[in-house]
A and B are shown apart, each in its own frame.
Chain A
Amino acid sequence: MSRPEGMRGSRRSLQVKFVPDEDVLKHISDDSGTKVRKEKAQLSVSVKRFVKKLENISDNEAQEILEEKNYVAALGICAQDPMGNGSNISGGEVYSFQSPKRSNKMAELASELAQTPEQNVAPDHSKCPEKMAKTPQSSKMFLLMCVLSLVFQNKKKEFVSTTPHRLRKRLAVPDPFLETESEYSASCSEEEDEEEQKEVSTVLSDQKTPAKTKAASTPPPRNSLAKKIKEQKMGSLVEEYFEAHSSSKVLTSDRTLQKFRKRRLNQQTLHDLLKNAPLAYAAEIRDLNQQHESLFSKWMLQLHLGFNIVLYGLGSKRDLLEKFRTSLLQDSVHLVVNGYFPSITVRSILNSITEEVLDHIGTFRSPLDQLEFITKRFKEDSSLELYVLIHNLDSQMLRGERSQQILALLSSLPSIYLIASIDHINAPLMWDQAKLSLYNWLWYETTTFNPYVEETSYENSLLVQQSGSLALSSLMHVLHSLTLNARGIFRLLAQHQLEKKDNPSYPGLSFQDFYQQCREAFLVNSDLTLRAQLTEFRDHKLIRTKRGADGVEYLLIPVDDSTLTDFLEKEDEDV
Chain B
Amino acid sequence: MESLGVLLMLPLNPYLESELDRRCKLFRLWQIPKASRKDFLYANSPSIRALVGNSAVGADADIIDALPQLEIVVLYSVGFDKVDLAKCRSRGIRVTNTPDVLTDDVADLAIALSIATMRKICSADRYLRSAAWKTKGQYVFTSKTMPIVDVEMPLNKDEMSRRHKGVIFSGKTVGIIGLGRIGSAIAKRAEAFGCFICYHSRTEKANTTYKYYPDIISLAKECDVLVVACPLIAETQHIVDRKVIDALGSNGVLINIGRGSHVDEAELISALVEGRLGGAGLDVFEYEPHVPGILFSLDNVVLTPHVGSATVETRRAMADLVLRNLEAHVMNNPLLTPVL
Partners in one complex: no
A residues contacting B by CB (< 8 A) are none
B residues contacting A by CB (< 8 A) are none
